[in-house]
Structure 1
Amino acid sequence: MRTPRLTRGRLRRATTMAGLTTLITGVVAAGPLTPAGAAGPLTPAGARPGCTPAWTMLPAASVDTTVVDVDVIAPNDVRFTENLAFAAVRTLRWDGKTLAENGPQIPIPPRTSQYFEAGAGSYDSAGNGWAITRMHGMTRPDGASSLARWAGGRWTLTPSAPSSDPSVGAASVADVASPAPDRAWAVGQLHGVGYQAFIERWDGTEWTMADHPATGYRVSALSAVRAWSADDVWAVGYRQDAGPYQPLVLHDDGTGWKESPLPDIGPSGRLTTIGGTGPDDVWIGGFSGTEYESAPLLLHWDGKSWSAQPTPAPGPHGTEIQRLYAAAPGDLWAIAYDSTQNHGLRLTHWDGTSWQDVKPQGSQPPAYGFDFYEVDGSGPGDVWVVGATTFTEPSDGAYPYLRSRRLIAHLSCGRK
């Protein structure tokens, strides 16, 4: 999701579930995919007069691809990050008419023979942005992260503060927020003895570690960061001392990071995502309870305090809010994860009165699964959601191959 400039705009949040997961669980029966043109009208609050937006699906011919991030810089400049099979990453750009590769691609680090993938990104303009990358394999710490910078028309891998060498670093970057070329924040968790949350700050030249109060807890992690300005930055995650996990919210008002008090949400919970339209309209989501018996959790900041808000309908055995995008005040999109479903990442919409599940793909054969990973937009009548369509193909063994194709859906009043 696009991060605001220091004087205006919006930002971004994290990656799928534990950070950058692109594997999809569950097996479905094979069958032909029916093209989904317009998937039905939806009139969101705040849409321009005479506009009845409808969903369209962009074509997806290639196999074994998953789109994990979308960043809307402008209606005619939308960036996508796509993970290909095994060790390959591709960035794409929508110019209002066509989807194509976005110039030079993110370089794969030397000696990366195992698994290389990308996740969350953040752009402050067409010419400057960031993407999180991660490596897996026997010769590297599982999930060792680095940050790739888009500047000067190309991608460059940039050493992060937790470790100057991402191939040996023990840090997992979960999210990045870039409000300006010389200002960005990244958050995540340090691995090893005593897992601790970290915050690093980009000054235009290098990343440096920032002090924050979550280091006082036995265990802590940060999963999302949002920057409204240089002196208004939010980060969310969880903390733990002797008891169960508790939601964690940190805020930097320009004088340093402080913990923000929350209303009582029950004995345990975690926060995973941040959305909003401005400093006085901030949404945070996650879950209360445990991962296996969770209830969706949604809180709103009005500029003074946090308050609990209505949530999407929970599944029978647990639901978490994974992503949020606020198109306008009272117009909120969420990706909710139902933990007991094979394809449990569903898209749902709040119109200021009630939540309604939305299926951009329209009517499709039940043999196909649809998982949504990220949502972003430029306003109520211009919303993008990305992820993967999964299906099976016959194999020579006892089990079929599980395959995936990119999923890119667009809510609009017509191509711009």
Structure 2
Amino acid sequence: MKRSRRLALFAGTTLALGAVAAAGIAAVGPGEHRAASVAGAAATTWPLVQSSPKSDTGTSLSGLAAAPDGTMWAAGGRQATGVYKPILQRLTGSTWSNVALPAAAAPYRFNAAAATSASNLWLAAQLNASGDSHAVLHWNGKAWRTFKAPLSFQPQDIATTGPSNTWAVSASAAKHWNGKSWASTPIGIKPRAITAVSATSAWAVGWAGEGLPATAHWNGTKWTTIPFPKVAGTVRGEIASALTDVYAASGKNVWAVGTARVSDGAGKTASRAILAHWNGTKWTTALGASGTYMTLVASDGAGGIWVYGSGAMRHRTAAGVWSGKKLSQPAGTTVNPSELALRPGTTTMWAVGWTSNSATGWADLAHWRSN
């Protein structure tokens, strides 16, 4: 049985966040965070509403797209007999069903998804078989189109505001689709995530320089690196301090989350969650307690945000009031949410990812729902 400790998540910062508590967990490597309880929220959970068929031997979801018309897709991959196969699902009512994919999708695994309608879906695809390219796939409501990308550009996130304005980013570059062709655009940072507000406004977050969190803004013509507050005590190492997700409500209301690697002053390094807000003029930040992290952020549809970090979901209202909930966790597993989104036209939040069996290490794709 796990015991949670009450810790002040944000303190001594310039960003007024309201009261929120975080669970203490041991620092581990990226993608290996162990689930932990949220102090004061043990009675409330997001249920696990759908997982892999028992016949699957390893499935996970890495992308989630929510279009304004309420259409939602989840994308990822399945490992069978040592070969990954892509997975695409669509939400109908409250059930996720598999979507048929073209033969051209077979060599890939989907890392991310973005959509503006049922006839404008984009998928960032990573090569998982023999071949000479990664890819971006597009669904126009009637047919699929595959755009190949060189092996030097592995699409890891994607954003779109319409069929003629789509962005894809790799670990060090960005490409833009204008409706006719793709063009490489110098971005100035190593992006981990991207979001687009319009054809003349997009945000990318990640890291740059000596492993420091970084952000960049697209103004319709070029990318500009936007100064980000320095995190005192940041330690350079194999794991960079970085921002991992971004949500833009408008050009003057942008949220980003991530994790900093910070010295504790006693010769040890610990992770500390970062929550950052852009008000149209500057970024302000708040740091979590030692051992915390944040990976996901999304709109709640009512002026607030949901974030995932330190093993739990946390909600911040438009008024700045925080609360926390756990993700339902089957016995003997760890939870690994990869994307988070509001279903437009509802108050329901969805998270997708996978659960890992602690004994076998196998993953099962997972969908969690807020209500």
TM range, normalised to the smaller chain?
A: 0.7 to 0.9
Query: What is the TM-score normalised by the length of structure 1?
Result: 0.67
TM superposition shift of 1:97: 4.2
Q: 1:235 aligns with which of 200, 204, 210?
A: 204
- CA distance change for structure 1 residues 329 and 300 in 2, over 3 Å: closer, same or farther? farther
* Alignment of 1:184 onto 2:166: yes
Distance 1:235 1:27, change over 3 A: closer
- The residue aligned with 1:158 is 147
Instruction: Report the secondary structure of 2:293's partner residue.
Output: strand
Q: CA contact under 8 A between 1:78 and 1:93: conserved in structure 2?
A: yes
* Matching residue within 327, 331, 334 for 1:360: 327
Tell me if structure 2 keeps the 8 A contact 1:281–1:300: yes
1:251 counterpart letter in structure 2: H
1:91: which partner in 2?
A: 88
Aligned to 2:280: 303
Structure 1 residue identity aligned to 2:207: Y
- Aligned position for 1:126: 118
After superposition, the Cα gap between the structure-2 partners of 1:247 and 1:94, relative to the gap in structure 1 and judged at 3 Å, is: same
Backbone CA RMSD of aligned residues: 3.2
What is the deviation of 1:77?
2.2
Matched AA of 2:112: A
Aligned length: 318
- One-letter identity of the residue aligned with 1:324: V
Partners of 1:233 and 1:173 in 2: how far apart? 17
* Aligned-pair CA distance for 1:117: 1.6
Partner residue in 2 for 1:193:
none
Secondary structure of 1:107's match?
A: helix
Cα pair 2:200 2:219 within 8 Å, conserved = yes
Counterpart of 2:190 in structure 1: which amino acid? Answer: A
Report how far residue 290 of structure 1 moved: 5.5
SS of the counterpart of 2:104?
Answer: coil
Amino acid of the residue matched to residue 128 of structure 1? Answer: N
Looking at structure 2, the residues matched to 61 and 79 of structure 1 have their Cα atoms a distance apart, in angstroms, of 18
SS in 2 for 1:259: strand
Verify: 1:145 aligned to 2:134, yes or no.
yes
Map of 1:82 onto structure 2: 76
Q: Specify whether residues 247 and 25 from structure 1 end up closer, same or farther in structure 2 by C-alpha distance, changes over 3 A only.
A: closer
**Unpaired segments ≥5 residues, structure 1:** 1-22, 29-38, 43-53, 164-168, 190-196, 215-219, 339-344, 393-399
User: Counterpart of 2:370 in 1: which secondary structure?
Assistant: strand
2:193 aligned with 1:224: yes
Percent identity at matched positions? 19
Match of 1:372 in 2: 337
Aligned to 1:293, what secondary structure does the other structure show?
strand
Name the counterpart of 2:247.
Answer: 275
Gaps of 5+ in 2: 1-29, 36-41, 235-240, 264-268
Q: 1:348 aligns with which of 296, 303, 314?
A: 314
Does the CA contact (< 8 Å) of 1:335 and 1:373 recur in 2? no
Give the match for residue 19 of structure 2: none
User: Displacement of 1:206 after TM fit?
Assistant: 1.8
C-alpha distance in 1 between matches for 2:31 and 2:228: 33
Confirm or deny that 1:210 pairs with 2:169: no
**Does the 8 A contact of 1:89 with 1:105 survive in 2?**
no
Task: List per-residue Cα deviations over 1:129-187 (Å, max 9, x = no partner).
Answer: 211111246x668xx63211122434332023xx3xxxxx2222221111110111112
Distance (whole Å) between structure 1 residues aligned to residue 314 and residue 103 of structure 2: 32
Cα distance change of structure 1 residues 295 and 27 upon mapping to structure 2, 3 Å threshold: closer
Alpha carbons of structure 1 residues 349 and 26: separation in structure 2 relative to 1, 3 Å? closer
Query: Residues of 2 paired with 1:173 and 1:70: CA distance?
Result: 15
Equivalent residue number for residue 271 of structure 2? 294
Name the residue aligned to 2:227: 261
Change in Cα spacing, 1:283 to 1:97, as seen in structure 2 (3 Å) is closer
Distance 1:258 1:301, change over 3 A: same
